[in-house]
Structures are given as structure tokens and as C-alpha cells.
Structure 1
Amino acid sequence: MDKVASALGAPLSRESGESLSDQIVRAVAARIDDRHLRSGARMPSIRQFAKAHGVSAFTVVNSYDRLVAMGYLESRRGAGFFVRERAPLAPERKPAEASALGRPLDVVWLIRNLFRQAPPQFSPGSGVLPAEWLAGPAVSNALRAIGRQNSHGLLAYGTPAGFLPLRQQLQRKLAELEIAAGPDQIVTTVGVTQAVDLVARELCQSGDAVFVDDPGWFLMFGSLSMQGLKVIGIPRLADGPDIAQLAALAAQHKPRLYIITSVLHNPSSTSLSAAKAFQVLRLAQEHGFTIVEDDVYCDLHPGAPTQPVTRLAALDQLQQVIYLGGFSKSMSANLRVGFIATSRERAQRLTDRKMLSTLTTSELTERVVYKILSEGVYRKHADRLRARLDAARPKALREIEAVGLRVPTAPPAGLFVWADAGRDTNVLAERAMAEGILLAPGSLFSPSQLPSTFMRLNIAALGEPTVWRFLQRELDRQP
């Protein structure tokens, strides 16, 4: 077999439905993987390959370029294409193997496992909706429409504060929540995660105290601690923080910030009552701390008149409250578009800090979000999401209680259930991981990370019978 034929190993098919370029790439890669083409071997020239297989030179160039990008070939100027020496890839550990390493359960443990390549139905501890629930078609349509527009605007840096039409659209969105904020009071961010980071760096210095919900959003605890801040948990009750504890701890620690989720608190999906909201604002004024209101789950709540809720930013109108929002939980996690709404002066300082950190955020993703919001697609999508969660919640709650878990406060909306297993859920999570199931133990949702009998469950990821069988078996054991 000559050099040209041996490069491919089999004739190309024009009836298979697979493109000629795909066939070439697949066949050549297989020949290299099987060691039929050795490292350093010279590939046929583009002209030779095209003539021998009856394809165009363009098809061969495209195929060779893809093989270079995949690491199978290398291009040497003036000499042609050669088989690249490929280092063996380390085998991927299975979940059970990773668990056997004995890594302690901490925030990094959960984040690592949230990003593992596992079916979502085996991740009842995850914090996101399944991909098929999100706005995939709307995102795809928006990307195609934006791709047909003049590309010059997509090739330069974006506007430091964020894509202006999106900020104008966010002004209208906030107005519906009774929060008055002009476009110059809004700064876009890479999700709420960056928003928290920017605000903390702007308002705090190393050693300052920052209050958070306990339980609360675990990722934030690690981020704030890495800035040298003293993270202190405020006990979270069904209707908001424990006011007596908040008052006592504020007098003791003089915090700079209190980061709180008013609507659909993570992990309990409970919301702040109006009475508690007024008390929190009163204490903020009395002790001089700034409130950071994280409302990333905003669009999963039906709002008035079905279930009226109180937002601190609506009561305060961005005087002592900084409002954070985003679309990763309800539209697409991959777009990573969040925003900060605050006073004009603070928005300008945060924009300067954002420029020093990342220059600008991606205008491409911001244009996608703007298009989806401005064309009315998102409102219908959010309605469908809430309806789907409402349909799944009663069944999930029945099954949760049937296996022996207790839910002190059944949430009327949202994604999560905060369930009491009556035993250390760190142990439960380790046993689950050994069977390829991701649970989120309660210890990770507290700044103290002390053992907890609670765990967070995602009602959109509770359809797998294997998960229920595991929970039933483990909870039937003696603690």
C-alpha cells in the first residue's frame, strides 16, 4: 500500500451522509491512534492526497488543519504536514476513584464535582437547571441573528460599564421590580460571582467583617476569605435572618457588608418577609453597613400578585443597598452575564475597578442576552420554567419525605429543597460519590463548615430511581 493510501486506510464514501472532510479526519486520526502512522511520518502532500482520493484541495486543507488543531499533525513551513508525537493522556478517574483519594469535603470538593462530566440526573446536589430546561433555542437563534449583523462591533472591546442597550433593558426590568435605576447606575459583570468580588474589593479591606446568610451560597465564602475578609454567618430562618443575632453580631463586629438573598434563598428557596426587610434596613442604618442583595433567582419566583415578595433594593432605592442580578440560573450558565445596580457614583467606581480587573465583559454574550430580553422571548421562557418547577415540586417533596428526609419549610417556589437527613450528610455525600451520585451536604453551606444533618436537593434533578434507591438504603441504616 503506497503512502497516500496508507494515510487513509479505507476508501471515502459519498453516500454515507458524513462529509468527506469528517471522514478524512476520523480515518487519519484512527490510523495514528492505532500506530499505523508513526510519529514523525510525513503525510502525503495536499495535491497528492486530493488526486488519489478524488477530492478537492480545499477539502484536504480543511482536514489537515483540523487534524493539526486536534494535535494529530503538525505543519512545517515549506516541508508539509507530519504526524505529531503525542504524549499519552492520563486516564480519567471515575467518581469512585476520585472519592478514594480521601480529599476532605469542602467548597472546592463540591465545585470540582459540579463540573464533572456526569449525567445531570445523578447530580441532585447541583445548583443549576438541566440543560433542556434552559433557553437553548432562544440562545441559538440570538447567536445566529447577531452573527448576520455587521461583525465590526464584535471584534473590539466592549463598553466598560457594559453593552448600553442591555443596560437600558435592565433599567426596564428593574422598574418592574419597583427599583429605579438608570443605565449609568448599572454595571455588567461576568455573573453574580464577579459582582460580589468587585463590590467586596471596592468596599472592604483585609480584616474587615462581612456578614452572610448561614446557610448560604458556599462559593462566596471561599471568595471572600481569599480576600482576607472575616466571613461571619447570620442564622437564616424561614422568613429571613435571625434579627436578634444580626443586631448582636453587628454591634460586636461592625461589618462592612451584609450579603443576603431576599428572594428564593439558596439553599432553602425561602424569601424575606416585609417585616424582616424593614428590620434589616434599620440595623444597616444603625450600624453603618452596606447591604448587598443577591437576586440571581429573581425570575424563578412568580412575584405579585401570586406570591408577593419584598426586595430590600425596592425599599431603599439603592441608597444603602447594592442590588445584584443575572441570568445564569434561568437562561444559560455559559453566557455568564450578571449585573450590579447601585448609586451613580459607586457604579462609576465599580466600572473603573472592573476595567482594572478584566477591561470589559464580553459584548457578544451581552448582545445575546439583550436580544432575548428585548424580543419578549425571555418572559415566556421564564413562565414555562416556573410552571415546570411548580409541576415537579409536589412530587419531589412527597418522595423526599417518603425516603425519610424531613423538610422543615416546604418552599412554594424555586429550585431547591433544604432537607434534614437526621445524620451527618458529609458521610452521606461520600457514600453517594462512591456510587457516582453528587449530593450537597449542609456543612458546605455554612462559613463554619461544621458537620450538618441538612443537605440541598435540586427538584429538577430528582427523577432518577437510582438516586431514590440510594437515599432509601442509606437512610434506613442506623446513624
Structure 2
Amino acid sequence: MQWAEQRIQQQVFRPGMRMPSVRELAQERGVSRFTVVAAYERLVARGHLLARRGAGFFVREATPPAGTRAKSAPARSKPQQAINMGWMVRNMTSGIPAHLSPGSGYLPPDMSGGDLLKMGLRTLANHSTSLQLAQGASAQGYAPLRTQIQRTLAEREIQAHPAQILTTTGAAQAIDLIFRMLLRPGDTVLVGEPGWCNPLLWLQGVEVVGVPYTPQGLDVQALTALVEKHKPKLMFLNPVLHNPTGTLLSAATAYQILRLAEAHNILVIEDDIYSDFLPQGMAVTRLASLDQLRRVVYVNSYSKMLAPNIRVGYLAGPAELIDTLTTHKLLTALTTPEINERIVYKALTEGSYRKHCQRVHAALDSLREPAFKRMQDLGLQAFCQPQAGFLGWFDTGVDTNHLAALGLDAGYLLRPGALFSLRQTPSTWMGINIATSHDPGMLAWLAKTLEQLRQRSEKP
């Protein structure tokens, strides 16, 4: 195949030319006809050849690489993009390197669990007879993984039967399933503000009301008043290492939240996707552990700690609700890819997942104080200093929408505070990932740009 591919690239075989017949090339190269056919088929798959029944194989017209502009197309100025959740998610997946992405929502590749996933994939490949890829996967998810999740929940003092657990394509699908199944236009939902989930709620046509956060966590007095005023159907909360502030839920606050939920018949969605970033032994209170999945639906994901593209999450809740959500999952997306779930299962059970988490904890602990010090040296004010995780929330004193747009033009991905606001209005706040915010070039650019923006704002 390499011989033919080189000659196509060198234009020995030009577009439209018929390739040597299978018999001719087999005799010339001293290989079997099967080898030639297989090589030609691979070249067809790669877009180099066209197969014409009864006529043979022909060189295909070259196509420009993805992302290149046609020569005849006039150059256009880059349109100004609105900075919203779509802007952030698109740019997080656009290929900007991690060390140039202080606004990234994930660990950098050198800290992620890629090696664990490779180990799980190798184990699966070595036992390929156990894979039934031609058969449909289980509606609720790969049974051994759900049993493993059951054990994890038990360690967090949440008792759940596997029938109460539904796997999803990341936490986003879990949240989307809940919102689409349970909410109707006109319903009211309380969310933490600042917070991340708002677009999924807007799509449902519901009224979204923000509950403010303090450096100590959710403002319970404000929550109580908002519950009394708005009579919400649902609360969506991220109590452990809240995104973007990094705060933790206190036991007293957790009890008050559940008392309000009970008194006003409110379903609580607990988003715990940063749970694995908590060091073992750190005291934390989870709503689901106090409620035992009666009024709380628990959502989690492996994407943050393992790798963003593995997309394996789950939710746990009352058995009747899980059954309803399973049907809805089947109707809207069929099943989740079992091969992904098997890879994660192998990583959890055979790949030293706990040790990986411990290494990440140690690495982040060593980065946290220097990262906060660097931001403070740039004139940023921290909302609080989290005890764990990779999140930091800072007041820059300038419009971070403008800062983020300038950053993207310079090749940097920032996370402006408007993304965490219900109204998506410009803000001076900005989220920082302490694991991806130490590149000298990025820091020099940030210092210079902040100074320029501050000087402009001071001019009359």
C-alpha cells in the first residue's frame, strides 16, 4: 500500500488514471492478489482511490485538508462571536493546547487518566471474545459497572441498588434527561449563581432563579426566601467543589436544604462531578447521603478525572424515576456505548484508579497556592481558596468578555464570568484552572492585557 500511496502523492499515478490491475500488480510486486486487493481497499477508505465495478480502481481527485479555504473563496474577516456557553464548549474542543487554556474545564493530558484507559482498552482487546459488539447493550448500562458504582456510592454513604443506577453519556446527558423528563414550560428551578447548567434549563422554557453563593458556600437565607417566593419544582445544586467557586457544602446547610425540599415538595438534583478530586478523609456532606435517594437524584461522571472524551456518567435516584428515565433514554438515544463503559470498568477495577486520584490530588495541592499567588500578583482578587480540585474564581476588575475575546485572538482560552450568570451579562469575574494557568507566555500576555484594559477604564 505504501508503494502505491507514494506514487499517488508524487503524481506518478494522476487523478483519473486507472491503477494497475490486481493481477498485474501482484505479479510485478511478487505478492498475492489478496494483498493487492486489501491494499487497494485501504486506499479507497483513505480517499486516494475510487473503486468502479467491472472497471477497476482509479485515482481520486485530491481534496483539500479539512480547515483549508478554497482558493477561489474570497478572504473574509473573522466574525465577532457572542460569548456564551456554546462559545466556551466549542473552544474547549477546538484543539487549543491545555497549557494555553487557563479557562479549561478539564485536567491537562499529563495529569489525566489516559494510561488507565489504555490499560482498560488493552485488557478488553486481549479478551475480545467477551465483547458482543453486534448485540444491543443494556438499557440501564453495563451491569458490572453499575455494581461498581453501587460500591462507590456505598463508600459515600449512599445506599443504592443497581436498579437505581442509570449510566449516561457523561453527566450532561444525565442532567438533560432529568430536565426534559420532569420539567415543563413555566416551571421554576433554583440553581446556584454563579453556576454552569443554565442553557439546558433555558431549552425547557422554565423560569430559572439564581441562589447566591458566599465564600462559605450556598447562601441559605437567600435560598429560604427564594423557595417561599417562587415555589420551585426543582433545585439543581453542585455542593461539592462547586463550579466555579470551589466551595464545599456544610452539614448545617445540607440539612436546611433538605428540610426546605421536604416542606415544599421539591426534587433536588445533586451534581457531584468533582467528587473524585476530594482527598480521602476530607470531611464533606452530600445531600444524597442524608436523603438516601428519596428526594435527591445524584449525578456523577468519570470524564473530569479520567479524560473528557470518554463520556461515561451516571445518575442514581428513586427506582421508579430511574425506570422512567431509562425509557426516555432509550427513546431519545438508545443505549450508551458499552465499550466505553467496559473500558471505564476495567480502569476502575484493574487500573489503580485510587492511586491515580491520589497522584492528581498531590499534583493539584502543589499547584494551588502558587497559582493563586500568581493571580493575586496580577491584581486578581480570589473569591475564596478551595481546599481541593482545580477551580479558582477571581475578580479581575475588567470586563472578562472583552478579555476572553482578546485572549482567543492571541491563542488563549479564558473562562469569563458571564458564562456563569443567569443573564449572561458581562462580568469582571473569571474562572481559572490551576493546572493549566502557569505558562510564562500566557501569564505575560495576561499581565500586559489586564494593565491595558485597566488603564483604558481609568480614562475619563
Q: TM-score, normalised by structure 2?
A: 0.92
**1:314-366 Cα deviation digits (max 9, x unpaired):** 11111111001110000122221111111111111111111111221111111
Contact 2:119 2:351 in 1 (8 A): no
CA distance in 1, matches of 2:81, 2:372: 32
The reply to whether residue 356 of structure 1 matches residue 335 of structure 2 is: no
**1:146-190 Cα deviation digits (max 9, x unpaired):** 123215523211111111111111111001001111111111111
In structure 1, what is the equivalent of residue 349 of structure 2? 374
Secondary structure of 1:131 counterpart: coil
C-alpha deviation, 1:37, in angstroms: 4.0
In structure 2, what is the equivalent of residue 139 of structure 1? 117
Contact 2:8 2:14 in 1 (8 A): no
**1:42-71 Cα deviation digits (max 9, x unpaired):** 112233233334455444334322221222
Task: Give the count of matched residue pairs.
Answer: 448
In structure 1, what is the equivalent of residue 176 of structure 2? 197
CA distance in 1, matches of 2:105, 2:395: 18
Secondary structure of 2:132 counterpart: helix
In structure 2, what is the equivalent of residue 154 of structure 1? 133
Which residue, out of 350, 361, 379, partners 1:386? 361
C-alpha deviation, 1:38, in angstroms: 3.6
Which residue, out of 105, 109, 114, partners 2:83? 105
Moved more, 81-90 or 206-215: 81-90
The reply to whether residue 116 of structure 1 matches residue 94 of structure 2 is: yes
In structure 1, what is the equivalent of residue 415 of structure 2? 440
C-alpha deviation, 1:99, in angstroms: 9.0
Contact 1:303 1:309 in 2 (8 A): no
In structure 2, what is the equivalent of residue 10 of structure 1? none
Within-5 A mapping of 1:399-418? 399-418=374-393
Q: Give structure 1 stretches of 5+ with no counterpart.
A: 1-20
**1:385-435 Cα deviation digits (max 9, x unpaired):** 111111111221111111221113011210111111011101111111111
In structure 1, what is the equivalent of residue 401 of structure 2? 426
C-alpha deviation, 1:227, in angstroms: 2.2
CA distance in 2, matches of 1:84, 1:223: 44
Contact 1:272 1:310 in 2 (8 A): yes
C-alpha deviation, 1:252, in angstroms: 2.6
The reply to whether residue 277 of structure 1 matches residue 237 of structure 2 is: no
CA 1:273/1:81 → structure 2, altered by over 3 Å: closer, same or farther? same
Which residue, out of 50, 53, 59, partners 1:77? 53
Secondary structure of 2:36 counterpart: helix
Contact 2:166 2:322 in 1 (8 A): yes
Secondary structure of 2:167 counterpart: strand
Moved more, 151-160 or 273-282: 151-160
CA distance in 2, matches of 1:453, 1:262: 24
Contact 1:162 1:187 in 2 (8 A): yes
Q: How much is the aligned-residue C-alpha RMSD, in angstroms?
A: 2.0
In structure 1, what is the equivalent of residue 72 of structure 2? none
The reply to whether residue 42 of structure 1 matches residue 18 of structure 2 is: yes
**1:68-125 Cα deviation digits (max 9, x unpaired):** 12222111122111122345456458xxx99941112111111111111222111111
In structure 2, what is the equivalent of residue 291 of structure 1? 268
Amino acid of the residue matched to residue 186 of structure 1? I
Identity %: 45
Contact 2:220 2:256 in 1 (8 A): yes
In structure 2, what is the equivalent of residue 207 of structure 1? 186
CA distance in 1, matches of 2:77, 2:206: 31
The reply to whether residue 173 of structure 1 matches residue 152 of structure 2 is: yes
In structure 2, what is the equivalent of residue 229 of structure 1? 206
Amino acid of the residue matched to residue 253 of structure 1? H
CA distance in 2, matches of 1:389, 1:99: 40
Amino acid of the residue matched to residue 223 of structure 2? L
Contact 2:121 2:343 in 1 (8 A): yes
In structure 1, what is the equivalent of residue 317 of structure 2? 342
C-alpha deviation, 1:250, in angstroms: 2.0
**1:253-289 Cα deviation digits (max 9, x unpaired):** 2222111111111112111111111111122122221
Moved more, 74-83 or 451-460: 74-83
In structure 2, what is the equivalent of residue 129 of structure 1? 107
Amino acid of the residue matched to residue 258 of structure 1? M
Amino acid of the residue matched to residue 193 of structure 1? A
Moved more, 57-66 or 331-340: 57-66
Secondary structure of 2:102 counterpart: coil
Amino acid of the residue matched to residue 79 of structure 2? L
CA distance in 2, matches of 1:106, 1:290: 28
**1:224-263 Cα deviation digits (max 9, x unpaired):** 2112222222212223222222222222322221111111
CA distance in 1, matches of 2:400, 2:194: 14
Contact 1:64 1:73 in 2 (8 A): yes
Contact 1:185 1:347 in 2 (8 A): yes
The reply to whether residue 460 of structure 1 matches residue 423 of structure 2 is: no
Contact 2:238 2:270 in 1 (8 A): yes
CA distance in 2, matches of 1:66, 1:110: 37
CA distance in 2, matches of 1:365, 1:29: 37
Q: TM-score, normalised by structure 1?
A: 0.89
